[in-house]
Structure 1
Amino acid sequence: MGFLTFAAAGFGLILMGTFEAIASTTTSSPPSNLPQSKPQTTPSRSSFIYFLSASLLSFLFILNSLISFFDAVNSHDRVGSAQQLQVAAIAALFLLYSLTGLLTLNNSSFPSSLLNLIGLFAFVEEFMYFYLRRKDTVGIENRYFDMLLVPIFVCLFGTLLQLRNNSSSVIPNLVRGVGLVLQGLWFFQMGLSIYTRWMAHGCVLKEKSRGNYTVKCKGHPEYHRARAIATLQFNCHLALIVVLVVGVYSVVVRKTGGGGGGGDISRYKPLGAEMQHQIDSQGQFTLDSDEEEEEVREEGKVVRNKAGGEVELDVNGNGAHT
């Protein structure tokens, strides 16, 4: 497939995830203490670019799969040809999802649950494809495909949340956007690690056809070293995603006034002053008032004095000791 194919797929997924995250953060309603802005302009544009990028990327995946399929047929590679048919089927599901999303934007009466259901099926199909892909059990590319299951599952989980909630919550879209960005970064990393000189030392690439390849290593030390390098690279990508999410979230909070950093400071009231106002409104309290209240309640009743005797109170408050 080549490095350019992986790079193009990674760039498209990063673009999709970025616009998905932007659409989710700008769709949220502004705080009540801030003036209302125009919430519909930016989310609609971001969602349109998201679905447009998804449709274009899905079409390119289908085109690339067809080219790889005919190359596998010419190379008499049955495994490669069958594999490319699976990739084309998955890309067709994502193309249907993106076209349905564009239709949803133009028609508000179109059910959004159907869109989320198609997206859920597409991510499940993609997850199962990479989970069951084991052409060569000792190939280093299997380690990269195992790591790819993590961002795919994040996208699947975000779509499942959106399908179940079916609300305007920003969390499902944000989760799916982060998963798409991580998936795009990992596609780019796979292209670098498989088709460039950045491949682990002691390992070589062997191709049976354009879409059927494996990475062989000389021995067990090189094999375990290459697997460890793949795991380290994925951890670095996770750390990069965390830094990007925190940075973007802080910028969005400052601009939208969400959270505690961008609110209206002039409306802030100290907690001590508010509590003092509540205490003053309840009046003054003295110990004498409490004792007098107890004395009034004790009139006409029998109470026990400190010495242990009983005192019977009459109406005038005079009692007889017993």
Structure 2
Amino acid sequence: MGGTPRSSIGHILPGAGFLAVGLWHLFNHIRLFSLRPDAYVAPVWFPAPRVRHLELILVIAGSAVEFSMEMFVDHSTFLPFDADGSIPSDRLHNHEHAIICLALLVYAASALHLDRARARCRDALSLLLVAAVFAQELLVFHFHSTDHAGLEGQFHWLLQLVVAACLVTALLGIAFPRSFVVGLVRSACVTFHGVWLIVIGAMVWVPSRVPKGCSLVEEDGRYTVRCHSEASLHRAKALANLQFGWYLSFMTVFVVVLYVNVCRMYPAETAYVRLPPEAGEEEEHLKRKCGVASGDDDVQGFTPLEIEV
């Protein structure tokens, strides 16, 4: 497999994973809030109908596969280190990507264990691990060993904005677990995270999608986009910004439409509240409890006593 498809698939597959989890969370957050708006508490993950931990199991499996791909597969040697134990320069970006996969794996495995153990504050701890994942991802992309310059750098800089939004909403979820807005925005950010990763994989490393005036070239064993002139570079960056704006607008409309339709499908459950009896009903209730018939002042089962004073 050449460098071009591997770089593209390396963004599209993780993007599809984030997209699936984000859509799953969006639907369930809205459904849960629509059914019980007064008792809503935002879960960190949602159990599946038959396999409770299916979401976490899929995250563990996907992270493990991507970790193995980054560390061992698609290289001249399956060893991620040199003979002296050092990391080769051309493998630094693979190790950085693997760290993100490892953070995801730690989150999912820990959340699964905390749920099985019924640990106290498991939701807050799991959400803190989610925040650690996005913090790790933001750190890696901001200080990436690969020179994300030009068009590729613009796409990844916009990606950092999405990851930062995911991080902020995860931290807010710890402080405000009953806020539907926080849960909704966090799910929307995770969904958009997946969308933008797919866009990067399709627009940066697929030759037919490269903007006019730019081309896909191989540098230091990997493929990247290089523009032929300064004007072409500015145009390509402007197109990336426009794509980000269009996809963000579409995402906003999608969330609103999904919210309206899910609320229509799952109306709020009727809450039954026991009303206190009125004065007359309360007196009648006490008489029946003591065995007194309605309209009878004598207590059943007892003979009235006459006390002579």
CA contact (8 A) 2:192 2:248 kept: yes
Pairing partner for 2:68 from 60, 63, 70:
63
What displacement does 1:126 show?
0.5
Closer, same or farther: CA 263–231 of 1 in aligned 2, 3 Å: farther
Pairing partner for 2:129 from 118, 125, 147:
118
Match of 1:133 in 2: 144
SS in structure 2 of the partner of residue 200 of structure 1: coil
What displacement does 1:85 show?
1.2
SS in structure 2 of the partner of residue 215 of structure 1: strand
Paired amino acid for 2:47: S
Query: 1: CA distance between counterparts of 2:145 and 2:245?
Result: 23
Segments of 4+ moved more than 4 angstroms: 68-74
Query: 1: CA distance between counterparts of 2:37 and 2:139?
Result: 45
**TM-score, length-normalised on structure 2?**
0.71
SS in structure 2 of the partner of residue 45 of structure 1: coil
Paired amino acid for 1:206: V
Pairing partner for 1:216 from 226, 232, 246:
226
CA contact (8 A) 2:93 2:146 kept: no
Match of 1:8 in 2: 13
What displacement does 1:99 show?
1.3
Matches within 5 A, 1:260-275: none
Paired amino acid for 1:149: Q
- The reply to whether residue 52 of structure 1 matches residue 62 of structure 2 is no
What displacement does 1:245 show?
0.1
- Considering Cα pairs closer than 8 Å and 6+ residues apart, tell me whether 1 or 2 has the greater RCO: 2
Deviations 1:209-252 (A, max 9, x none): 66x44311111111111111111111111011011101110012
Query: 2: CA distance between counterparts of 1:253 and 1:157?
Result: 27
Query: 2: CA distance between counterparts of 1:224 and 1:6?
Result: 24
Q: Percent identity?
A: 21
SS in structure 2 of the partner of residue 214 of structure 1: strand
SS in structure 1 of the partner of residue 35 of structure 2: coil
SS in structure 2 of the partner of residue 44 of structure 1: coil
CA contact (8 A) 1:3 1:195 kept: yes
Match of 2:184 in 1: 174
What displacement does 1:30 show?
3.2
Provide the aligned length of Structure 1 versus Structure 2. 252
Match of 1:156 in 2: 167
Structure 2: gaps spanning 5 or more residues: 1-5, 272-309
SS in structure 2 of the partner of residue 94 of structure 1: helix
CA contact (8 A) 1:205 1:216 kept: yes
Paired amino acid for 1:228: A
Structure exhibiting the larger radius of gyration computed from Cα positions: 1
CA contact (8 A) 1:55 1:95 kept: yes
Paired amino acid for 1:44: P
**TM-score, length-normalised on structure 1?**
0.68
Match of 2:287 in 1: none
Match of 1:19 in 2: 24
CA contact (8 A) 1:17 1:177 kept: yes
Query: 1: CA distance between counterparts of 2:266 and 2:168?
Result: 27
Structure 1: gaps spanning 5 or more residues: 265-322
Deviations 1:156-206 (A, max 9, x none): 1121012223x3443333222111111111111111112220111221223
Deviations 1:125-147 (A, max 9, x none): 10121122374364310000011
Match of 1:293 in 2: none
